[in-house]
């Protein structure tokens, strides 16, 4: 079973800074990590590989430095990494991103399943996975919390809903996006880390994947961000930790000290 996992590099901080001119996220000079939801996608890909053999290829679109992040997935057990990196890809919205990824995946060749995280923690759109499936003309399921079966050209999975979950079956090749509940990602192994040190990341440009530049990057993005702002929350909150009894005691102490309560009430 050949699996492709799509990952995105996101700022480690939850306070995303924006470029006011282009209204895109400033990624330079900020510590970056693999999008937390994508770590579940990588893990699920590796688990399928462990069961069925085959290989896991991890794909990302981003600046050249993303290659280091991709190597971290080799330390976990990924076989190959592909980075789509080109000035032409810069400033892409979700549609242009899905297009670029689809062209990269066409170049990779045969695959059975594509796995993405349910969304990225910076943009929070949850659109790239489904858009990518449409671009490739394959079925998809979002918010997958469990794969119950895979083989014979089919995958059975559970899609998380507000009320519970749906049992879904798709024909392969297919794309799924996964939620946190699906697994607990493994830590790297020493041998994996050593392999990652030596691993080569294939870096492909728009020309390498035969992409139409009019559909790439800022130019290929029908959505334009006009303005971004951080909503102001006036509410100050404080979390109390400990056992329920301790939490109650701390809360009471606080309310007493703020004179919202009187002792003996």
Partner 1 sequence: MNYFLTEEQTMIKELAAQIADEKIRPLAIQYDEEGTFPHDIMKILAASDLCGVYIEEKYGGLGGGIFEMSLVVEELSRACGGISLSYAATGLGAFPIILFGNDEQKQKYLPDIAAGKKLAAFGLTEAGAGSDASGIRTTATLDGDEYVLNGTKQWITNGGEAEIYTVVACTDRTKGSRGFSAFIVEKDTPGFTFGKKENKMGIRASCTRELVFDNCRVPKENLLSKEGAGFIVAMKTLDRTRPGVAAQALGIATGAMNEAVKYSKEREQFGSTISSFQAVQHILADMAIQIEAARALVYATCKFIDSGAKNISKDSAMCKVMASDTAMKVTTDAVQILGGYGYMKEYPVEKMMRDAKITQIYEGTNQIQRNIIALNLLKEFSASH
**Footprint on this chain of partner 1 (rule: CB under 8 A):** 186-194, 197, 242
Q: Using the minimum distance from each CB to partner 1, give the nearer residue, 189 or 219.
A: 189
Q: What are phi and psi of 170, to 5 degrees?
A: -125, 150
Q: Using the minimum distance from each CB to partner 1, give the nearer residue, 72 or 97.
A: 72
Question: To the nearest whole angstrom, how small is the minimum distance from the Cβ of residue 189 to partner 1?
Answer: 5
Q: Using the minimum distance from each CB to partner 1, give the nearer residue, 18 or 193.
A: 193
Who contacts 56 (Cβ-Cβ below 8 Å, separation ≥6)?
A: 3, 4, 5, 42, 45, 46, 49, 77, 78, 79, 80
Question: To the nearest whole angstrom, how small is the minimum distance from the Cβ of residue 85 to partner 1?
Answer: 26
Question: To the nearest whole angstrom, how small is the minimum distance from the Cβ of residue 252 to partner 1?
Answer: 18
Q: Using the minimum distance from each CB to partner 1, give the nearer residue, 154 or 191.
A: 191
Question: To the nearest whole angstrom, how small is the minimum distance from the Cβ of residue 250 to partner 1?
Answer: 12
């Amino acid at each position: 079973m050949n699996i492709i996992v799509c990952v995105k590099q996101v700022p480690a901080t939850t306070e995303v800074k924006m470029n006011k001119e282009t209204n895109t996220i400033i990624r330079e000079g900020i510590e970056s990590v693999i999008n937390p939801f994508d770590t579940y996608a990588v893990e699920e890909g590796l688990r399928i590989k462990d069961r069925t053999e085959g290989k896991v290829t991890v794909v990302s679109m981003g600046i050249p430095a993303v290659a280091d992040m991709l190597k971290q997935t080799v330390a976990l057990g990924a076989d190959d990494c592909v980075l789509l990196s080109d000035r032409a890809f810069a400033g892409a919205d979700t549609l242009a991103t899905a297009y670029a990824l689809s062209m990269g995946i066409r170049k990779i060749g045969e695959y059975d399943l594509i796995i993405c995280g349910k969304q990225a923690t910076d943009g929070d759109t949850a659109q790239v996975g489904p858009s990518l499936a449409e671009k490739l003309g394959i079925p998809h399921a979002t918010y997958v919390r469990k794969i119950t079966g895979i083989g014979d050209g089919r995958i059975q999975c559970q899609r998380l809903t507000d009320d519970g979950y749906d049992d879904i079956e798709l024909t392969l090749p297919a794309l799924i996006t996964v939620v946190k509940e699906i697994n607990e990602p493994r830590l790297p192994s020493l041998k994996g880390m050593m392999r990652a040190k030596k691993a080569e990341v294939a870096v492909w440009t728009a020309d390498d994947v035969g992409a139409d530049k009019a559909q790439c990057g800022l130019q290929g993005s029908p959505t334009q961000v006009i303005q971004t702002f951080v909503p102001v929350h006036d509410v100050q909150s404080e979390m109390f930790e400990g056992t329920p009894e301790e939490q109650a005691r701390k809360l009471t102490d606080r309310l007493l000290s703020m004179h919202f309560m009187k002792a003996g009430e």
